Structure 1
Amino acid sequence: MADQWALVATELVKNFGSKCAVDGVDIRVPTGCIYGVLGPNGAGKTTTLRMLLGIIDPDSGHRELLGTTRPRSVSHRIGYLPEERGLYSNMKAREAIAFMGALRGLPWAEGRKRAEILLENAGLGFATHDKIKKLSKGMSQFVQLLGSIVHQPEFIVLDEPFSGLDPVNQGRLEKLILGERDRGATVLFSTHIMAHAERLCDRLAIIAGGKLRYEGSVDEARATLPMQAHYTPRDNDPALAALLPADAVRENGSWRFPVPESGMEAMLGTLLESGHGIAGLSIERPSLHEVFVALVGEKAVEEMEADAGEEIAA
């Protein structure tokens, strides 16, 4: 595998009994990028990550991680935050991070030094000597996250890292992910929260029902749908609807519709001649949310947003 790819996986398939959890997924992660795996709960994201890391083997397909087809042989070069969280409750935060580094070959003394720096940089320096059982759920989860990167891995895999974090810790995590990318690491994370994927990812895969629905950059994903026009007339004449595309939707006194393939010029001329005028006009790219709806359907998006809302409330 060329150095430009930290990970290449093709046609991954995994069945559990009669259920196909992952059905022919292809993923290519460039070295040094932030890559997101986006999809609703139960989409097959965790199973995919575990196959990529060699925790479980695919029933068929090919995977190559950091130049080897045996992912577990390079585990010391990888940082992994699993979906299941758990630390020794009587350990202090610094010791818990150093312990996780030691499991990857990092000397204890160096692990403690790095742990103090990581906690301080994350705004958690006050908790350095606190036991895990005294920390909030979000803080203890963040300690485990720091433990997964203390050995400065080349490739970092985070399974639903934002799950259960309050907005403050979500912001800390976004900053940390960007910092690790700037350090030169490749970061792969799964999420069902589109805002994080849209803000952070250089590339992403959208998975639903165990199948790959899209793979590429965020900009390329948004380019799969036409540009959207937001038009505000100078009047509220109901007759205006007849001059707009049939799929135009009214939103709080304005209209929203895909930009026609022929462009906006002819339509704008008609609107001006009709006397409705133009009080406001903007043309925007579709959001990742709109792309996701087009690929997997409104129901899946509603379920993802409901799950995200429950996590924030918790």
Structure 2
Amino acid sequence: MSELIIDPSLIKRKLLHISQTNKFTEFSPQQLYNHQKEVTNYLQQHESSLNLIELYNLLELQFYLNILTNNDEEAKIVLNKIISYFNEGNETKIVRSQRLKFLKSIWYESQNDLKKSMEMLNDEPDELKLSRRLTTFARNHKGNNDTSKNSNKYIDNLIYYLNLQPNDILTWKELSEEYLISGNYDKSIYCLKQVLLIQPKAYPIFYKIGLIYYYKFLNHFSKLNNLNNDKKDKLIELLKIFKLSRDNYLISLEINQKFDKSWVGLKTLINLNFDSKLIKVSENNKEIKEFIKDNEKIKVIVDKQIKELNIEI
């Protein structure tokens, strides 16, 4: 069977579309590698037939794909080629000078030289955000070696940007997720609280804070094997974490009563039967008695709402 021959013009059109729309930021690792090879092969065969705009866009795409597939040496070669082609002359220099600085900033950031990266961008907010998106995105496509080191580097990059752009909500969320992955619940929650300072009625954020407190509760509760008097103080601390989870779910529902996830979160939390564990050591503790009483009321409301909203558990 003869090999299928694809019209080069169709390949060019596809690659230019990817370049102009930044579609590559949504690619899986395999897609990144495949397109990196495709754009490299296409340029090797058809570079001379491209006009200046097409050439720049495809070289830029090649640079990004090399960055995202951890081909740092190839990315540097492409960057030098772009500089050689477009840093001289009149019209092209005027049109592309800012873009060249931007590409240089991405290169420096990929090498963890954040100081030089910022110097290139002149603290332009939009460019700062896009630069961070591209280079920190590469973290997820550099293999599994030394994951903790990559994670720490990623956290450092996010913190650096937040010092420059403290109202970047998406970055606070990313940093929260990174702390959560590493099991640092308190720092993860702190990041989400920063989001609430900017968006005080963001009910999904209250839900997420409740969920992280739930994870924290489970983590600590699993370490308590025997419920004796020695564990009483630790159970009181667990009670406080439980309440923080519960209360954040409730705040989320005060803002949006039909938010399914918070109802499910509440039901899951209440069904842990933590109350029965507390009763064994409660004695005449007023705080515990009020806590149990509140949970009993909430359980009735949760069951009713889940049934009325037809929420599947």
- Per the normalisation by structure 1, the TM-score is 0.27
- Per the normalisation by structure 2, the TM-score is 0.27
Structure (1 or 2) with the greater strand fraction: 1
Structure (1 or 2) with the greater helix fraction: 2
Q: Which of these two proteins has the greater Rg computed from alpha carbons? A: 2
Q: Comparing both chains, which one has the higher relative contact order based on Cα–Cα distances under 8 Å and sequence gaps of 6 or more?
A: 1
